[in-house]
Amino acid sequence: GTDVHLWHGKLAGVPYPLIPGHEAVGTIERIGPSPISYLNGKEIKVGDRVTFHDVTKTCFSCYYCLIAKTPTKCPNRVVYGITMDSTKFPHLIGGYSEYVYLIPGTHIIKIPDHVSFDGAISVGCALPTAIHAVTRSPMKHGLNVAVQGAGPVGLMIAILAKISGAATITSIDQAPNRLKITKRFGVTHTLNIRETDLEERKQALYEISDGHGPDIVYEATGNALAVPEGIELVREGGTYTICGQYTDSGTVEMNPHLMNRKHLDIRTVWGSETTHVY
């Protein structure tokens, strides 16, 4: 997987673990009854160090998979530890059990020898979500971007922006230690929402981007109030990509005229596909 390699090349030697949670890494203990392969066709062997995409299965026969080309909306998907019931076969479905039974069809990814388990642990979930978000945005070299949120997904987005040649990357968060870590990964500017107000953040981003505002703003906060702020921050004609609103925290006040006047692309991003981890 090219993303894994790239990502490793940039991350090696930094402090870990960054990303706690339901993602899982491990060593292949048993295979069978028949041989199975990685997505690149190479056979999986006992002893291989692996991780796997937490979305194991989409049906590829429903409207969302085939027609709408939005497999992350497939009603038949199976997600490890989320859509499965551990009282039923195969039981061992979460990353916290000692063994995990990987259902046939799971997309298993070999961890390169030079990447530690800690380094690989985010491949299963935060990275694919971040890749999905970046893929849905017009990211390219030379752009000015801002990322709301410096948690696992926000950090991964910032790293992908760095790898993609963004001119400036501004991380916005309230936790000084998170912001400090983003700097180690190539983020060029940080803004602490506890130390600045909206107007100051807007002004700072204008100056960082030669007076236009960021070309792309990514939302990865989980805080509903981040959304109206993101619309204020992105430049006219820019793109606002929302991927952090995974839980329902109700409505917020938004200004449709401001949205319209700024001539925006607003793209919301739900889940990830196997494409995004390969």
Residues 133, 137: Cα–Cα separation, whole Å: 7
Among the listed residues 11, 39, 59, 259, the single contact to Zn ion using CB under 5 A: 59
Size of the site for a second copy (CB under 8 A): 76
Among the listed residues 20, 32, 69, 177, the single contact to a second copy using CB under 8 A: 69
Cis? peptide before 90, omega within 30° of 0: yes
251 binds, among a second copy, Zn ion, none (CB under 5 to 8 A by kind): a second copy
Is 148 in contact with 157 (CB distance < 8 Å)?
no
Residues 188-227 touching a second copy, rule: CB under 8 A, are 210-212, 224, 226-227
β-pair type (78-79, 55-57): antiparallel
Q: Which stretch binds Zn ion (CB under 5 A): 11-19, 24-32, 74-82, 168-176?
A: 74-82
Residues 190, 176: Cα–Cα separation, whole Å: 9
98-127 footprint of Zn ion as x/- string (CB under 5 A): ---------------------------x--
Q: Which long-range contacts (CB under 8 A, 24 or more apart) does 64-73 make?
A: 71/273, 72/132, 72/270, 72/271, 72/272, 72/273, 73/270, 73/271
Among the listed residues 50, 109, 125, 143, the single contact to a second copy using CB under 8 A: 143
8-47 footprint of Zn ion as x/- string (CB under 5 A): ----------------------------------------
What is the smallest separation between the CB atom of 244 and a second copy, expressed in angstroms? 8
Among the listed residues 76, 116, 164, 192, the single contact to a second copy using CB under 8 A: 164
Task: Rule CB under 5 A: say whether 79 interacts with Zn ion.
Answer: no
243-262 footprint of a second copy as x/- string (CB under 8 A): xxxxxxxxxxxxxxxxxxxx
Which residues lie closer than 8 Å to 242 by C-beta, 6 or more apart?
219, 227, 230, 266, 267, 268, 269
Among the listed residues 8, 26, 56, 64, the single contact to a second copy using CB under 8 A: 64
What is the smallest separation between the CB atom of 73 and a second copy, expressed in angstroms? 5
Query: Position 188: which residue type?
Result: T
Task: Rule CB under 5 A: say whether 62 interacts with Zn ion.
Answer: yes
Task: Rule CB under 8 A: say whether 14 interacts with a second copy.
Answer: no
Q: Could you tell me where the beta strands, DSSP code E, fall in 14-127?
A: 25-27, 49-52, 55-57, 78-79, 108-110
Task: Rule CB under 8 A: say whether 5 interacts with a second copy.
Answer: yes
Is 158 in contact with 182 (CB distance < 8 Å)?
yes
Residues 22-61 touching a second copy, rule: CB under 8 A, are 39-41, 60-61
Residues 188, 205: Cα–Cα separation, whole Å: 12
What is the smallest separation between the CB atom of 10 and a second copy, expressed in angstroms? 9
| Residues composing the chain | 278
Which residues lie closer than 8 Å to 89 by C-beta, 6 or more apart?
none
What is the smallest separation between the CB atom of 92 and a second copy, expressed in angstroms? 22
Residues 242, 22: Cα–Cα separation, whole Å: 22
CB closer to a second copy out of 24 and 55: 55
Token pair 């700072």 is at which residue? 204
Note the residues at the interface with Zn ion (CB under 5 A): 58-59, 62, 65, 74, 76, 125
